[in-house]
Amino acid sequence: MNALDLDASHDPNRTSWIEVAAESDFPIQNLPYGIFSTQRRERRIGVAIGERIVDLRALAEAGLFDGIVDRATLSAETLNAMMAAGRPVWRALRARLSDLLRVGGDRALLEMPQALTTAEEATMHLPAIVGDYVDFYSSIEHATNLGRIFRPQGEPLLPNWRWIPIGYHGRSATIVPSGTPIRRPLGQRKLPGAEAPIFGASTRLDIELEVGFFAGPGNALGEPLPIERAREHIFGSVLVNDWSARDIQAWEYQPLGPFLGKSFATTISPWVVTTEALEPFRVAGPTQIPAPLPYLQRHEPDNYEIALSVLLSSAAMRARAIDAAAISSTSFAGMYWSQAQQLAHAASNGAAIRPGDLFASGTISGARPGSQGSLIELTENGAHPLRLPDGDERAFLEDGDEVSILGRCLRDGFRSIGFGVARGRVLSAAR
């Protein structure tokens, strides 16, 4: 079970008759799904390849997937039905798409130019209706860093952390696709030494660099999902920016956890990179000590080698045409708790998981300087602001700042694939 589960669709030498730049996130080895619309096409499922989008509804209506998956699933306005279809369907569909797009494959799509559009013409939407959104806290470096900041008097890592993939439910209504402006939240905060809190615009607006996965087929209420089968229930992954108002969060979060400090917005990248596409990049995670309880024990490598980075540009930088600055770079491979462990844990009490549920990893931080996934960590709670290329400083986000999260899988012997971008620009607060 430890060998990678590869097929011809992962062949690094396979190329498409559609032109794909060498540095593109979307070569034929990727084939991520998303929901797009154009002036002439209402919302529908697309597959990204290079700078093009394949209109899956058009292909389905032409009968190109008959026998693999029903046309209604591929003609839907969200990916929920495809997420529900399950791994055998996902694999067959991927194989068929790869064959339709490869040099020397089936020529049916080549003869349907109307089934292709350009990324430039398309507006991207949320990939799925997210029934429930769960955010974990699975990087040991992040949990340790935040524990130091929020609970300076105690042990940074709480006693339960190495036993439980700690998580909580977030707000599904405020998950937005990349590009949606982020309004600075109002909220209660209590200044150090103040007797009473005040209400107003957050002054400690932050990001959290995360990777999330969309659930595939769910479980019945009351029936846990064993970890051995967890990967079959993970459709694919996206980049996540869990925007966080640290001042609101610090004042509100005890004893029931983060609420308004997080619920104002969560940005995701619009292209869902499938679990199949990620297979060549599957690696073993860090050794877990103590060994997890049996229901959380891994039976195969289940982390992913994804290089992640965060770019920031200010309004002043854009006005002077200065490129966005890389403020963090890290890897998803070192996460303590894996996606499979997160899912098995979330369903271990019999809670129902539905296709399209989103599970985010929690902030991804590494051990070395510059590899932390949030400003509160990068600046040591604001004590050491970042210096931007134009000389300006940042402890937390200012209005007009734009944050982009990027992700890319790299491994010797395989064609690199990427996630596109999760981007958002900060607007001034309401009123």
User: Closer to a copy of itself at the Cβ: 68 or 176?
Assistant: 176
Stretch 279-298: interaction string toward a copy of itself, x if CB under 8 A: -----------x--xxx---
**Shortest distance, CB of residue 277 to a copy of itself, whole angstroms?**
27
- Name which of 365, 357, 428 is nearest 132 in CA terms: 357
In the bound state with a copy of itself, the residue whose beta carbon lies nearer, of 22 and 196, is 196
Structure tokens at 422: 């999760």
User: Token digits for 168?
Assistant: 């909580």
Considering the complex, what minimum distance in angstroms separates the CB of residue 114 from a copy of itself? 34
Amino acid 309 reads: S
Stretch that binds a copy of itself, among 103-111, 278-286, 343-351, 414-422 (CB under 8 A): 343-351
Q: Which of 38, 41, 96 is nearest to 63 (CA)?
A: 96
Q: Which of 209, 234, 210 is nearest to 344 (CA)?
A: 234
How far are the Cα atoms of 62, 69, 74, 217, 403 from residue 84, in angstroms, in the given order?
A: 23, 11, 12, 4, 32
Catalytic residue flag (residue 142):
yes
Is 65 a residue that touches a copy of itself (CB under 8 A)?
no
- Measured CA to CA in angstroms, residue 148 lies from 141, 242, 371 at distances of 11, 20, 17
Residue 336 CB, shortest distance to a copy of itself, in Å, is: 15
- If one asks whether residue 258 binds a copy of itself (CB under 8 A), the answer comes out as yes
**Site for a copy of itself, residues 109 to 138, rule: CB under 8 A:** 131-132, 134, 137
Of the candidate spans 88-96, 105-113, 167-175, 301-309, the one that interacts with a copy of itself by CB under 8 A turns out to be 167-175
- Going by C-alpha positions, the residue among 196, 222, 192, 212 that lies closest to residue 204 is 192
Q: Check if the beta carbon of residue 411 is closer than 8 Å to that of residue 332.
A: no
Choices 28-36, 155-163, 389-397, 398-406; region in contact with a copy of itself by CB under 8 A:
155-163
Q: What is the Rg, in whole angstroms, of the alpha carbon atoms belonging to the chain?
A: 22
Alpha-carbon distance of 382 to 384, in angstroms, equals 6
Q: Residue 112 and residue 67: Cα distance in Å, rounded?
A: 20
Residue 252, Cα to own-chain centre: how many angstroms? 26
Question: What is the distance, to the nearest Å, from the Cα of residue 156 to the centroid of all Cα atoms in its chain?
Answer: 26
Report, in Å, the least distance between residue 95 CB and a copy of itself.
Answer: 32
Of 196, 57, 183, the C-alpha closest to 117 is 57
Examine residue 356 and tell whether it contacts a copy of itself (CB under 8 A).
no
Which lies closer to a copy of itself via its Cβ, residue 82 or residue 201?
A: 201
Shortest distance in whole angstroms from residue 327 CB to a copy of itself = 24
List CB contacts of 244: < 8 A, sequence separation 6 or more: 205, 206, 207, 208, 258, 261, 262, 374, 376
Provide the β-strand partners of residue 272: 33
**Cα Dmax for the chain:** 73
| Minimum gap (Å) between residue 188 Cβ and a copy of itself | 6
Decide: is 1 part of the binding site for a copy of itself (CB under 8 A): no
> Taking CB under 8 A as the rule, does residue 191 contact a copy of itself?
no
Q: Which of 21, 173, 191, 367 binds a copy of itself (CB under 8 A)?
A: 173
CB atoms within 10 A of CB 159: 8
- Taking the complex as a whole, how short is the minimal distance between the CB of residue 168 and a copy of itself, in angstroms? 4
Contact between 95 and a copy of itself per CB under 8 A: no
Position 103 contacts a copy of itself (CB under 8 A): no
Residue whose CB is less far from a copy of itself, 43 or 171: 171
Q: Please name the residues in contact with 4: beta carbons below 8 A apart, sequence gap of 6 or more.
A: 279, 280, 282
Round to whole Å and give the CA distance between 395 and 255.
27
The only residue of 15, 188, 309, 329 in contact with a copy of itself, by rule CB under 8 A:
188
Nearer to a copy of itself, 29 or 202 (CB): 202
Residue from 248, 273, 335, 426 touching a copy of itself (CB under 8 A): that is 248
Q: How far is the CB of 99 from a copy of itself (least distance, A)?
A: 37
H/E stretch holding 315: helix 315-319
Site string for a copy of itself, 204-243 (x = CB under 8 A): -----------------xxxx-------------------
Active-site amino acid positions: 142
**Which parts of this chain interact with a copy of itself (CB under 8 A)?**
131-132, 134, 137, 147, 150-151, 158, 160, 163-164, 166-174, 176, 180, 183, 185-188, 190, 196-199, 221-224, 245, 248, 251-261, 263-265, 290, 293-295, 345-346, 348-354, 357, 427, 430
